[in-house]
Structure 1
């Protein structure tokens, strides 16, 4: 749990990020990236894909920085990450389903 001094500091960094400060962005990345990576890894079970998702999340944070509200940033970040994880899981499921269908069509006697 953040103490009040850390909370004020984080809020100031988030406000700077909202204004386009690249140093604030790097600070936020350093502060949150391991949590986002761990969250993604807990669902995806792949270090490479979790690193990819983490990069996508922080790219989206930068692209949507003008929408950032310090009071709801943690929820915003988890929501962005959840959406990327869900999209990846859905894509993987669809790819696997397509492979199974193709394989079944290629089996002898499955005309």
Structure 2
């Protein structure tokens, strides 16, 4: 072990690559504290810094045959990349949390995924309406899109109010059946 203490980083890496686990331990002992402090300074979180350093040394262990000297460059680069990825991920989480908070504080506001679902649902409804027989579709659109009463529709189309009511009811039944799959999925 005392021989390992005087070895250079490059010699330790070569010894580790040839199977000397004590060489790995020596690299770990030399760099763990430095990488940990560096990670703490960038992340401002001790536990996340420990995780980053542990991941870097796990990668060193797993990819030992692919690593070229100097080992310090690999360790610092791997740490920096993990930290930057973590910071990017934390920003995304923070943004999502802010959006969720805004939605909770403003019930009328929706998240992007909700907007996509709503648009898909609107398209499905519109496709269902377009598939109705023409006269039924016209009555349904006057009722639901133009907000006319059954009496107003019956006067406009010269049909009985009961026919309007029946056509709207039938249209709703047809649409419910067509949208049943969507409701089941969500």
Aligned residue for 1:84?
A: 82
- Structure 1 segments, 4+ long, off by >6 Å, are none
Aligned residue for 1:61?
A: 60
CA offsets, 1:54-86, max 9 Å, x none?
Answer: 10110011111112223x222111110011101
Q: Are 1:18 and 1:67, in contact at CA under 8 Å, matched by a contact in 2?
A: no
Partners of 1:12 and 1:75 in 2: CA distance: 15
Larger displacement relative to structure 2 (36-45 or 15-24): 15-24
Aligned residue for 1:33?
A: 32
CA offsets, 1:22-68, max 9 Å, x none?
Answer: 21111110011011101111100111111111101100111111122
Unpaired segments ≥5 residues, structure 2: 110-186
CA distance 1:109–1:18, shift in 2 (3 Å): same
User: Cα offset for 1:10?
Assistant: 2.9
Q: Are 1:53 and 1:85, in contact at CA under 8 Å, matched by a contact in 2?
A: yes
- SS of structure 1 residue aligned to 2:106: coil
Determine if the alignment matches structure 1 residue 52 to structure 2 residue 51. yes
Q: Are 1:104 and 1:110, in contact at CA under 8 Å, matched by a contact in 2?
A: no
Q: Which has the higher contact order (CA 8 A, sep 6+)?
A: 1
CA offsets, 1:81-109, max 9 Å, x none?
Answer: 01110111011111110000111111135
Q: Are 2:9 and 2:71, in contact at CA under 8 Å, matched by a contact in 1?
A: no
Partners of 1:66 and 1:107 in 2: CA distance: 53
Aligned residue pairs total 105
TM-score by length of 1: 0.84
Unpaired segments ≥5 residues, structure 1: 1-5
Aligned residue for 1:20?
A: 19
